[in-house]
Structure 1
Amino acid sequence: MSTETDFYSALGQCVSAAAGVFGLGFIGWQIMVARRTADLQALQTFLRDAKDHEAALIKASDQPEKDQAFIEYLNFLETYATALNGKLFPATSREIVNDKITDALVVISDSTEWHPKLAAAITSHTTFVALRRFMERNRKAMKAVRETRTNMAA
């Protein structure tokens, strides 16, 4: 009788172990899906917010309103440059956010209206540190975007 009890006990332990392994695999899969969903939501939020900041800049009716919208846009870019610099984005999102910020900074730096306002907005060595670090790290990419924009305009 003892052998039969030992057999069922061992069988029960094996079934429990298998269920535990399956459960861990399922939880790992759920975490992966949740991360992808969160990544997609963060990316959608970034793109929506970028569009809203750009629209506010375009829709501004007078100079003080334009200046305020521009500073808010710079702060938005600074926040996401900080996230990029800190490697807070997964690879897919990082690439899209990086490209969008690169494009925005090229437009700003090449603009006779906005580049001087960017320079004026830098009031200390700590202002827009993440944007400056981003620009230094992405100098080649910005040059390539600038060249593409020039070629498309010609």
Structure 2
Amino acid sequence: MNKTITVTSPEATMQLGAKLGPLLKPSDLILLDGDLGAGKTTFTKGLAASLGIKNNVKSPTFTLIREYHQGRLPLYHMDVYRLEDGGAEDLGLDEYFDGDGVSVVEWSEFIADLLPTTYLRITLQRSGTADDQRTIRLDPVGERYQQLVAQLGE
């Protein structure tokens, strides 16, 4: 069951991420897709805060993976945009995906062949005429993520 939400500010994007955080368990995988500036890192900031991570969450564009260990669960924030031409096989992503934390992957289409069979894909798109308006679509793949989206709607 897909769910679509419209937000009108970066704060609302963060709040949606914050609402998801308490529902997450180890090995959960969140894929964030959308154009540059769509709000992927903003969403992740809200999610991180709700996990109890106090550090400033920045886009891992140049480091590929940023790890945050001070929350309820570790957060592995990945930006695989630079892997458009390959190289992801060498990162050991499956160790993150099967690990003790939550993995958030921006630009997941570039590692599509390395993804597990279940995940929650969240697509953020600019919408309407307002600069800050976004349409956020949640596409759960697998029973765990269908339950997650249902809980999010409660």
Q: Do the structures match in fold with TM over 0.5?
A: no
TM-score normalised by length of structure 1? 0.29
Query: Larger relative CO (CA 8 A, sep 6+): 1 or 2?
Result: 2
Structure with more of its chain in strand, by fraction = 2
